[in-house]
Structure 1
Amino acid sequence: MRPGELNRRIVVEQASNVKNDDGDLVSSWATVAELWARRADVSGRELEAAMAKDVEISVKFVIRYRTGILPNMRVVLDGQYYRVIAALDKSGRREEMQIYCATGLLDG
């Protein structure tokens, strides 16, 4: 992977519960990481590879390899929210991760 290919700055967020001033728990999103990524549309063959049946995957983000990207997270790019469906190291070489995402209703 060439560094110039990673031309989008994304934010990975995870849902969390925080207490407000009244002591009540409020759902919120906390930043897990800010990463450089490449955005790409998803082909039908990649949908099968992501094992995402009955899910509308619309985009994938390619990042440098890292652990800890989970399906309960979301990706934010230019004010648009994407629900993480799967994060895969398809080559198995720990060089890059492909984060498969869907758009649609998200909490928050």
Structure 2
Amino acid sequence: MIWEDAVAFALGLPGAELSTYYGAPAVKAANGRAFLTPGHEAGSFCIQLDLDTVAMLIETDPGTYWQSPHYQGWPAVLVRHDSADPERVRAMIGRAHDWALSRPRPRPRKTP
């Protein structure tokens, strides 16, 4: 699943919208929380999930889910485009959407 496929799937989730996150394209939940971003590493995109789920994904399928040093310790996991299990990837995008909705709306950023 490449970035465009992930975005197309994510935009089909209730209230999801295309937006930006730190200046990059992203899909956000209805409360303004990003849950899908392109990531910093080529060949992967990023989903935001709770730390327990991130650890479980990396342990059970390190060929698909991983973290570079940039993401370690943060509630986010990289997903390789060439995953052998696109159904599980879609399920995890859905879970990331649900987790984003369970969190409070992000605080507005200060503008200079």
With normalisation by structure 1, the TM-score equals 0.31
- Larger helix percent: 2
- Larger strand percent: 1
With normalisation by structure 2, the TM-score equals 0.30
